[in-house]
Structure 1
Amino acid sequence: MINVLFVCLGNICRSTMAEAVFRDKVEKAGLSSSINVSSAATGSWNLGDTPHRGTQEILKNNGINFDGIYSTKITDEEFEKVDYIIGMDESNISNLLKLSPSSKWNNKVHLFLSESIDEKRQEVPDPYYTGDFDLTYELVSFGTDKWLEKITKEIQK
């Protein structure tokens, strides 16, 4: 089982969106028994909250289920157990490296769009501040395609 954890600052917009979208793609690809998907925050502000209403709206509009998704904070155990810890922007990456209980886990930390071929955009802007949930969804949809492709190849080895 490959464990994938999407991470952003508050775990109510970007990472919850990525969790729901990726989970949907994993299920449709028939890989639910091979890939476990979750999300977490680097901060504690929204713990226990459901996804932001903007995230909920765009997921509903695209027929993507987000049941059971709520804000949590990354734990020390997740650094050890999770195979891919994927931050949505450079600030998230920096926070993850600071929160990591050991530098031996740092190789698990990845920038969400690092698998992208578009060198101009490497970060997913935070729609909590930009209000642009459409752009976030577009980038999350693109990025999750790339991560599913990468992880599927790993499973098939």
Structure 2
Amino acid sequence: MEQSVRVLFICLGNICRSPMAEAVMRRLVLEQGLESRISIDSAGTGDWHIGREPHEGTRKVLDTNGISYEGMTARQVSPQDWTGFHYLVCMDRKNLKDVREMMSGTMEKNGAEKLFTFMELIPERGVADVPDPYYEGNFDYVYELVNEGCSALLDKIKADMDWR
């Protein structure tokens, strides 16, 4: 039986960065025929956009690049996500801090490596956080980072799982 890997991308409201990463990662996984082995989701640390579709700027950049976001709606991260996912990837250090606080009663000491920031995947960029395009409007730049980071994450997952 093939091992199934679950990835959760986390940002503030779950309408810009994390759904963009979810959509890009889904496309990459599909292109490599790994959709039966890797599942992807996204969530926000905040609750004010629950049930909403991705932000218009995120939808536009995904449409431009031919990437589906069909059926995606915002949800809030929960302590159950700690045991439900193998990788919890926070789009910035503030989200990482917030997730650590939210999961403090759930996190086991030996599972800390499953929680990290997105930009740790592409340290050569010299950027600590994926900027929030909700405030900055820089959706194309965020897409560039997300595309590069998701490729690196897929390589990491394949190496971690020793998939050849």
Normalised by the size of structure 1, how large is the TM-score? 0.96
Q: Decide whether the 8 Å contact of 1:116 with 1:122 is kept in 2.
A: no
Measure how far apart 1:84 and its partner are.
0.3
In percent, how many aligned pairs have the same letter? 38
Q: Which runs of no fewer than 5 residues in structure 2 stay unpaired?
A: none
- Deviation of the 1:81 alpha carbon: 1.5
How many angstroms does 1:117 deviate by? 3.4
Please name the residue that 2:120 is paired with: 114
Displacement after TM superposition at 1:122 (Å): 2.3
Runs ≥4 in structure 1, deviation > 4 angstroms? none
Partner of 1:103: 107
In the TM superposition, residue 106 of structure 1 has moved relative to its aligned partner by 3.5
- Within 5 Å, give how 1:23-102 maps onto structure 2: 23-100=26-103, 101-102=105-106
Q: Is the 8 A contact 2:53 2:72 kept in 1?
A: yes
Q: What is the RMSD of the two structures over their aligned residues, measured on CA atoms?
A: 1.2
1:147 aligns with 2:156: no
Question: Is 1:18–2:27 an aligned residue pair?
Answer: no
| C-alpha separation in 1, matches of 2:161 and 2:100 | 26
1:125 maps to 2:131: yes
Structure 2 residue identity aligned to 1:90? R
Q: Separation in 1 of the partners of 2:15 and 2:112?
A: 24
- For 1:16, what is the secondary structure of its paired residue? helix
1:156 aligned counterpart, secondary structure: coil
Deviation of the 1:119 alpha carbon: 5.6
CA distance in 1, matches of 2:58, 2:115: 24
SS of residue matched to 1:143: helix
SS in 1 for 2:123: coil
TM-score, with structure 2 as normaliser: 0.92
In the TM superposition, residue 155 of structure 1 has moved relative to its aligned partner by: 2.8
Q: 3-state DSSP class of the match of 1:98?
A: helix
Q: Deviations over 1:28-49 (max 9, x none)?
A: 0100011010000011010000
Structure 1: tracts of 5 or more residues without a match: none
1:134 aligns with 2:140: yes
Counterpart contact for 1:17–1:140, Cα < 8 Å: yes
Within 2, Cα distance between the matches of 1:128 and 1:20?
A: 17
Local SS of the residue matching 1:46: coil
Between the aligned partners of 2:106 and 2:126, the Cα distance in structure 1 is 31
State the alpha-carbon separation in 2 of the partners of residues 77 and 36 from structure 1: 16
- Give the Cα separation in 1 of the matches to 2:69 and 2:54: 8
**Alignment check: 8 A CA contact 2:16 2:54 kept:** yes
